[in-house]
A and B are shown apart, each in its own frame.
Chain A
């Protein structure tokens, strides 16, 4: 896979998020550059998932903006990332191959069979390909969810947004995830992951939303 010619980046500028009248975070700015990963940490309810949804373009922030470069003129923010939320979008009546093949053709475009097989293989789902999703364990469901990461190209969707990616995964699957993430970072991709677990990833920086809020509060109190 070719590496980017112009370095890619994900920039968040002065993001403020309010849900149901409650201020989650304000004036949050950060940048992730090609080949870097960012771990979002902080206590429950601090706004990690909301931040990921804002970065994915699925939730509008109260103020601030998100930018992914290099800009693609015909793609909006939701089309620039792969967002793996904490819910597994599995359909019990479909087999793993039908489901992931559907994601490939419906969401990401194209019907490259080799790419699909590679995506399933990346999370060792080959033996489960013809099993209906209803019969999968929660760890297996999680692996199927994560398999869609490998269906997109790094040019179109350089940003991976992962919400609690290691939930329900066993040691082996976590190692696979680490490898897949490392491969994505190597070709110039970016990863933002909300997590409570320490992630053994290279080039990982941590953003503690709880800490950010404390700093903001004291800054506002001082002003």
Chain B
């Protein structure tokens, strides 16, 4: 294994360790996701047909908001304590540093959300096919949310209370992901388009934003001084 790969994996595992230990907040996103999903049936009332029809939308809105929650700390903590300077003088290019941090962020937010989606789908009276589609679409789509948010996080890493700014910058770009994510869920339980059509577009969005997000966030981080 090259020194480069070792560095990359070491950074991912360091970020995972920080997120999983006390005060890291790896569970925040999941708890927030759960709150949104639990509140909705209470607000809508016992109309199971309506609930199961809007369930994909609720899961996806929950995922978008839950992803946004921890994003402001993605680079800010490292910028504040000087770790970012250290990373910038390391052997990895800043783009790869961003990729590693995004991967760790997704592993502690997007992945748990995707895995928990079928369980939460039960509360929203989803059909089994819909649950599987929700889980798959979140698994493929949530990385895009992380990468989009990373650009905002990179640009606002130097300012306190950047969270709202990130939301304003990132949410418009997250809309296409939301549309095709929900479309994939709906396609799985009926409708006129096959499941793979919106799903493939969702995958394409993730790949596109992986490139744009990594380069954009690194460019944003270079502006801090």
Q: Which residues of A contact B (CB under 8 A)?
A: 53, 56-59, 78-79, 81-83, 85, 87-94, 98, 102-103, 105-111, 148
B interface, size bucket: 20 to 34
B90, CB-defined interface residue at 8 Å: yes
Interface residues of B in 146-181 (CB under 8 A from A): none
Complex-state Cα separation, A93 to B21, whole angstroms? 7
Q: Is the CB of A106 within 8 A of B10?
A: yes
Q: Which residues of B contact A (CB under 8 A)?
A: 3, 6-7, 10-11, 14, 17-18, 21-24, 78, 80-83, 85-92, 225
Q: Is the CB of A106 within 8 A of B81?
A: no
Interchain pairs with CB closer than 8 A, number: 80
Residues of the A chain whose Cβ atoms lie less than 8 Å from the Cβ of B91: 79, 107-109
Residue among A59, A93, A103, A107 making CB contact with B18, cutoff 8 Å: A93
Q: Is the CB of B22 within 8 A of A58?
A: no
Q: Is the CB of A107 within 8 A of B6?
A: no
Dominant secondary structure at the B interface = helix
Q: A93-B22, A106-B14 are in contact. Are A87 and B82 (CB under 8 A)?
A: yes
Could you write out 21 A-B pairs with CB less than 8 Å apart? A53-B85, A57-B89, A59-B225, A78-B89, A82-B89, A83-B85, A87-B80, A87-B81, A88-B82, A89-B85, A91-B18, A94-B18, A105-B7, A105-B10, A106-B92, A107-B7, A107-B86, A107-B91, A108-B91, A111-B6, A148-B86
Complex-state Cα separation, A56 to B22, whole angstroms? 34
Residues of the B chain whose Cβ atoms lie less than 8 Å from the Cβ of A111: 6
Q: A106-B7, A106-B10, A110-B3 are in contact. Are A93 and B23 (CB under 8 A)?
A: yes
Q: A85-B82, A88-B81, A89-B81 are in contact. Are A78 and B14 (CB under 8 A)?
A: no
